[in-house]
Amino acid sequence: MGITRYNYEGKEVGALKNLVSAVVVLEDEWIEAANQHFASGGYQAFLRFPKAMVRQACAEELSDAQAWMLLHHITNDGVPLALRSSELDEHSRPAKVASTMAGFGLGVVDAALNTAGKAASSMTSMVTPKSEKAPDDLETQE
Please state whether beta strands 24-27 and 3-6 pair in parallel, antiparallel, or not at all (unpaired). antiparallel
CA dist 41 and 33 (Å) reads 12
Q: Which of the pair, 93 or 137, is modelled with greater confidence?
A: 93
Residue 23: pLDDT band (50, 70, 90) is confident
Residue 33: pLDDT band (50, 70, 90) is very high
Residue 88: pLDDT band (50, 70, 90) is confident
Angle, nearest 10°, between helix axes 64-75 and 44-58?
A: 90
Q: What is the pTM of this model?
A: 0.56
Q: If you average pLDDT over every residue of the chain, what do you get? A: 76
Instruction: Confirm if 5 and 25 have CB atoms less than 8 A apart.
Output: yes
92 alpha carbon, distance to own chain's centre: 9
On the question of pLDDT at 17 being above 80, the answer is no
Instruction: Confirm if 98 and 106 have CB atoms less than 8 A apart.
Output: no
